[in-house]
Amino acid sequence: MLVFDLTKRQSFDHMARWLEELRGHADKNIVIMLIANKCDLAHLRAVPTEDAQEFAERENLFFMETSAMEATNVETAFMTILTEIYKIISKKTLVAIDDANPGSLKGTRINVVPGEEPDSAGASGSRCCR
């Protein structure tokens, strides 16, 4: 999470440099969210929402405005990050399983002849008694 104080333009102006440093030292699959904190102080806002959204879109970041003081969107921000991390880890796990055992995630075709039902092993051939 890259957090800036939306009542202080200078904190937002540092985001590009901090993001560059973060990307230079972190895993390429890192999930990054831009957080504009102190949305409860809208009357002191120095960074328009549109500026932050535009930066987030340009840099392919998630974006959310929060208030730590009022607990606005704090839990939602963490849940969003955790959900995205889970999606990435799940994809990596599936790829690793498939790479280690090609075909392990592939289905098995079972041909069923009309009037016959599969036996306990899944093969057709034994007729069902009625």
- Confirm whether 128 is domain-assigned: no
Please state the domain count of the chain: 1
Sheet holding 62-66, edge to edge: 2-5, 33-37, 62-66
- Confirm whether 91 is domain-assigned: yes
pLDDT tens readout for residues 43-64:
999 999 999 999 999 999 999 9
pLDDT tens readout for residues 70-96:
999 999 999 999 999 888 888 776 666
- Confirm whether 123 is domain-assigned: no
- Confirm whether 21 is domain-assigned: yes
- As a whole number, mean pLDDT of residues 17-41 equals 94
Provide the CATH number for the domain around residue 89.
Answer: 3.40.50.300
- Confirm whether 62 is domain-assigned: yes
Give the span between the Cα atoms of 36 and 92, in whole angstroms: 30
Domain of 76 in residue numbering reads as 2-100
